[in-house]
Amino acid sequence: MELPKPDPQRLAKKEQTAQALLAELPSGTVLYAEEDLIAYQCDGVSAYRQTPMAVVLPGSTGEVSRAMKILHELQIPVVPWGAGTGLSGGALPLADGVTIVLARMNKILEIDYENRCAVLEPGVTNLRISEAVRHKDFYYAPDPSSQIACSIGGNVAENSGGVHCLKYGVTTNNLLGLEVVLADGEVMRVGGKGMDDAAYDLMGVLTGSEGLLAIVTEVTVRLLRKPELARAMLAVFDSVEGSGQAVADIIAGGMVPAGMEIMDKLAIEATEEYAQSGYPVGAEAILLVEFDGPESEVEYLLGKTGEVLRKAGATEIRVSSSEEERLKLWAGRKAAFPAMGRISPDYYCMDGTIPRAALPRVLGEIRRLSDKYGLRVANVFHAGDGNLHPLVLYDSNKPGELEKAEDMGTEILKLCVDVGGVLTGEHGVGVEKRDLMSYQFGENDLDAMQRVKCSFDADSLLNPGKMFPTLHRCAELGKMHVHGGKLLFPDIERF
């Protein structure tokens, strides 16, 4: 079979871009040989891949700035990349663009216990922050399941949460300051160690912007004191809907746990085989609840919550009696995603958020959709704030199964919006949910978002093709429509 011939224009553009970057950046910083680019073809969403024109591996803010100035002058699109663990295709490369990977910028620059904060480069992994301050009884609250690998820069880009976000908030609630590089290479700082409430909340705008507005090069995070006591409880239910109702009852009763997570039967079985956390195999659902704080408060809340759980139909309740037991209970939940590899060749991880009161209805509808499409679904999610993560199991080797999984995922996300929720809780929009944005937002809403984008990046060079189903050229009145990645992703491939 004759292989397709490389596009001469693309090759010339690639060579010009690479040489311009090589002339200004240190040796080893720029990759452009095809064999060196394979590792950067996709993020954690592996259904699609695309090879970038080149990759830049900067080691400092100055190198990011120099690279951006060159690429802005050449009008080359840029995709920022953290650790590659994203789950919405937000870091999917562009065939005619350059990917800037922040992994080498992985230093903890300062730990300031007096002001309870840490200053970090964007490549520092989430878990490493807490590990660095544990000996002083401090920690960093947001704890995504991928915290062992995901970077703080990526957490800022996606406004990541975690199992303890119910009480302590997501990334935006734990940030104090950012240093970013804009599309033209300008370096800008917002916030800092002190309170910064004056004028526009630019840090709030940048957090969760998915690399469309700027590239994060430094992060100042809030550190918290380790609570006096933390205890977890596991409640067993004979239906997923019953566990969802228990969540609503706990919040209605005035309790705010540090974390509250639900796993259904399929997730329990896969996780227990993988992590051996002592989960009850055969149970239809479990609810994990954790309280932390002063010992007297924790003991009171555990007792009160136990009463609510029994009234809600819990058939068994266990409470951790040691720190080791508490961590073991959470280890299973945090291993839920990789555990799916034991029961399915592939899975499609969804991310939508709903009002807590809608949990029973939505879980029932997901079960109906599972029957409709003939695909199994394992449910694991942050129940306390209604952030769902249904894992649609499929086999990409079977023709049509990926398409069925995607269609089912679309129905789940529309269901989330229909009950008063939103398309994403922490994974972002990326390319996965881009064409669903108009299902949640009206044209005026999307136009307002696009105007913010234009104010930071008038030439639409930062992560184009992501988030917006209809792109507005900043300097023109006309619109260009992007669907299925066919305009800005001409070479996109499926695995």
Asked, for residue 434, whether it belongs to a domain, the answer is no
Domain range for residue 484?
443-494
Structure tokens at 133: 């301050």
> In angstroms, how far is CA 88 from the centroid of its own chain?
8
Task: Give the relative orientation of helices 8-24 and 61-74 as an angle to the nearest 10 degrees.
Answer: 140
CATH number at residue 414: 3.40.462.10
The reply to whether 290 and 160 lie within a common domain is no
Of 175, 208, 225, the residue that ends a domain is: 225
- Is 416:369 a contact under the CB 8 Å cutoff? no
Asked, for residue 436, whether it belongs to a domain, the answer is no
- Tokens 């918290």 — which residue? 224
Asked, for residue 45, whether it belongs to a domain, the answer is yes
Q: What is the pLDDT along the chain (495 residues), one digit of tens a residue?
A: 444 556 788 888 999 999 999 999 999 999 999 999 999 999 887 778 899 999 999 999 999 999 999 999 999 999 999 999 999 999 999 999 999 999 999 999 999 999 999 999 999 999 999 999 999 999 999 999 899 999 999 999 999 999 999 999 999 999 999 999 999 999 999 999 876 666 789 999 999 999 999 999 999 999 999 999 999 999 999 998 899 889 999 999 999 999 999 999 999 999 999 999 999 999 999 999 999 999 999 999 999 999 999 999 999 999 999 999 999 999 999 999 889 988 999 999 989 999 988 988 898 899 999 999 999 999 998 988 899 999 999 999 999 999 999 999 999 999 999 999 999 999 999 999 999 999 999 999 999 999 999 999 999 999 999 999 976 677 653 444 334 333 445 445 555
* Alpha-carbon torsion (56, 61, 63, 68), positive or negative: positive
The reply to whether 414 and 460 lie within a common domain is no
Report the C-alpha gap between 42 and 203 in whole angstroms.
27
Backbone φ and ψ of 433, nearest 5°: -110, 5
The reply to whether 204 and 237 lie within a common domain is no
Asked, for residue 2, whether it belongs to a domain, the answer is no
Asked, for residue 19, whether it belongs to a domain, the answer is yes
Q: Is 161 helix (H, G, I), strand (E, B) or coil?
A: coil
Single-letter code of the amino acid located at 152: I
Bridge-partner residues for 260, per DSSP? 289
The reply to whether 332 and 256 lie within a common domain is yes
Report the C-alpha gap between 422 and 352 in whole angstroms.
6
Bridge-partner residues for 290, per DSSP? 232, 259
418 Cβ contact partners less than 8 Å away, ≥ 6 residues apart: none
Structure tokens at 67: 């690279």
The total of structural domains in the chain comes to: 4
> In angstroms, how far is CA 247 from the centroid of its own chain?
23
Of 195, 225, 255, the residue that ends a domain is: 225
The reply to whether 218 and 234 lie within a common domain is no
The reply to whether 263 and 408 lie within a common domain is yes
CATH number at residue 72: 3.30.43.10
Asked, for residue 332, whether it belongs to a domain, the answer is yes
The reply to whether 185 and 220 lie within a common domain is yes
The reply to whether 165 and 205 lie within a common domain is yes
- Tokens 């974390």 — which residue? 259
Helix (H) / strand (E) containing 69:
helix 61-74
The reply to whether 256 and 384 lie within a common domain is yes
CATH number at residue 117: 3.30.465.10
The reply to whether 312 and 400 lie within a common domain is yes
The reply to whether 254 and 352 lie within a common domain is yes
- Is 74:184 a contact under the CB 8 Å cutoff? no
- Is 185:451 a contact under the CB 8 Å cutoff? no
Q: How far is CA 166 from CA 97, 128, 202, 276, 417, in A?
A: 38, 22, 24, 26, 20
Asked, for residue 437, whether it belongs to a domain, the answer is no
Asked, for residue 426, whether it belongs to a domain, the answer is no
Of 182, 205, 225, the residue that ends a domain is: 225
Q: What is the pTM of this model?
A: 0.92
- Tokens 């976000």 — which residue? 165
Report the C-alpha gap between 184 and 489 in whole angstroms.
23
The reply to whether 189 and 133 lie within a common domain is yes
What's the distance, Cα to Cα, between the start and end of the chain in Å? 20
